[in-house]
Amino acid sequence: MRIRTQRSSLSALVALAALASALFACGGDKPPAQLPSTAARDRVATRVELVDLVVSDPARAAKVRSLYIAMDELLLDTKRVQARQLALVGSDQMSSDEKTRAALSAVSKAEASGLERYMQLQLELRRFVTADEFARLDAIR
Amino acid sequence: MFWVALSAFIMTLTGEGDDTFLLRRFLDRTREAVTEQVHDAARKQQALDALDRTSKAFHQHRLRTGKISECIEQADRKFSSTAADYQRCLSDVGPAWDSAAEQLITLSNEFRRALTPAELAAIRQHAVK
């Protein structure tokens, strides 16, 4: 259920991104890059349900799928932490530069720690796939 | 600056992270509101300049983080990637955000200084409609 919800959410984002691309294209402008955690999540989210097509061994496929799900959830959690901190920056409670700096530092730390854990999961993934399976998973866009 | 609140709001709603299109649209609406609400020419120009520089700072930050993204994607795509490959990508995460934070604080203060509290409230209302 959670995966389905996330897939729907992803579809909505893709539709929005397409709209944004179209609008920027009309203006001859290029949309700004996404944050690294957002771009990474987009990549792994597309692979979760396709692992079985690439990894034939059920035990390894289950492990690989669980790693992709862990990456997806990790990066989504990172976005939530960042959103909470950015909401603080935008609120009336942010009465000083120091408080703003602290909240933005928390956003940065969330990005760094999220990507650090993502890196560990990516490296672990390589233990459960062959080079050929890895290349086939990489080909999924 | 209060536009960050909208960005965060969108992020919370979608759960999908940063939405650059809506953020830019929000900046455009803020520009419109400044043009309509601020009648003092000098202060209006100061506020618009602060917004322009905010937009440029946002782009610069995304160009910088875009390089981090590209680096991570390259590491993701290589079966032989090591922790050292990823660490090279992550080395600029902190500095990139620190730099953006200082710019945001400076520009936010400039923007607020250019406006009266009443103007700021009116602009805020217009921009988040």
Domain ranges of chain B: 3-127
Determine the residue among A3, A23, A119, A121 to mutate to test chain B binding: the one whose Cβ has the most chain B Cβ atoms within 10 Å: A119
Q: Residues A20, A41: one domain? A: no
Residues A113 and A46 in one domain: yes
Task: Write down the pTM of the prediction.
Answer: 0.77
Note the pLDDT of residue B86: 97
- Please tell me the distance in Å from B32's CA to the nearest CA on chain A: 18
Spell out which residues of chain A touch residue B7, defining contact as CB-CB under 8 Å. 86, 90
The stretch A130-141 carries a mean pLDDT of: 91
At A81-129, the pLDDT tens digits run 887 777 777 666 656 888 888 888 898 899 999 999 999 999 999 999 9
Nearest CA in chain B to A84: B8
Asked whether residue A103 falls in the same domain as residue A70, the answer is: yes
Shortest Cα distance, chain A CAs vs residue B26, angstroms = 13
> Same domain for A21 and A87?
no
ipTM over 0.90: no
Q: At what angle do helices A2-26 and A58-90 cross, to 10 degrees?
A: 60
Tell me, yes or no, whether A119 and A81 share the same domain: yes
Q: How many CA atoms lie within 13 A of A126 on its CB side?
A: 15
Residue B112 contacts residue B120 (beta carbons within 8 Å): yes
CA atoms of B116 and B119, how far apart (whole Å):
5
Residue among B65, B79, B94 whose CB faces A131 most closely: B79
Between B40 and A6, the higher pLDDT residue: B40
Note the residue count of chain A. Answer: 141
Q: Is there a contact between B86 and A97 if contact means CB atoms under 8 Å apart?
A: no
Q: Are B17 and A37 in contact (CB under 8 A)?
A: yes
* Residue B19 banded pLDDT, cuts 50, 70, 90: low
Q: Report pLDDT for A29.
A: 56
Same domain, A25 and A44: no
Q: Which two tokens stand for residue A11?
A: 């579809």
The answer to whether A105 and B34 have CB atoms below 8 angstroms apart is: no
Nearest to B79 among A12, A91, A126 (CB): A126
Does one domain contain both A14 and A55? Answer: no
Residues ≥6 apart with Cβ < 8 Å to B53? B103, B107, B110
With CB atoms and an 8 Å threshold, state whether B101 touches A16.
no
CA distance A72 to chain B (A): 11
Q: What is the 3-state secondary structure (H, E, C) of chain B?
A: CCHHHHHHHHHHHHCCCCCHHHHHHHHHHHHHHHHHHCCCHHHHHHHHHHHHHHHHHHHHHHHHHHHHHHHHHHHHHCCCCCHHHHHHHHCCHHHHHHHHHHHHHHHHHHHHHCCCHHHHHHHHHHHCC
CA angle A15, A19, A25 (to 5 degrees): 140
Residues A97 and A50 in one domain: yes
What's the structural domain count of chain A?
2
The distance in angstroms from the start CA to the end CA of chain A is 23
- Same-domain check for residues A128 and A60: yes
| Residues of chain B found within 8 Å of residue A104, distances taken between Cβ atoms | 97, 100-101, 104
**Nearest C-alpha of chain B: how many angstroms from A79?**
5
pLDDT at position A91? 66
Q: Residue A140: pLDDT band by 50, 70, 90 thresholds?
A: confident
> How far off is chain A from B108, nearest CA to CA, in Å?
10
Pair (A26, A80) in one structural domain: no
**Is the CB of residue A72 less than 8 Å away from at least one CB of chain B?**
no
At B104-123, the pLDDT tens digits run: 888 888 988 999 999 988 88
C-alpha to C-alpha distance for B123 and B36, rounded to whole angstroms = 9
Q: Based on the domain organization, do A38 and A9 belong to the same domain? A: no
Chain B hits for A19, CB-CB cut-off 8 Å, are 21
Over residues B38-74, the pLDDT tens digits come to: 999 999 999 999 989 988 888 888 889 899 999 999 9
Q: What does the pLDDT look like over A14-52, one tens digit per residue?
A: 333 333 333 333 334 566 677 888 889 888 888 888 899
pLDDT at B18: 57
| Residues A84 and A21 grouped into a single domain | no
Range of the domain at A8: 1-32
Collect all residues of chain B within an 8 Å Cβ-Cβ radius of residue A90: 1-8
Which of B63, B81, B101 lies at the smallest CB-CB distance from A105? B101
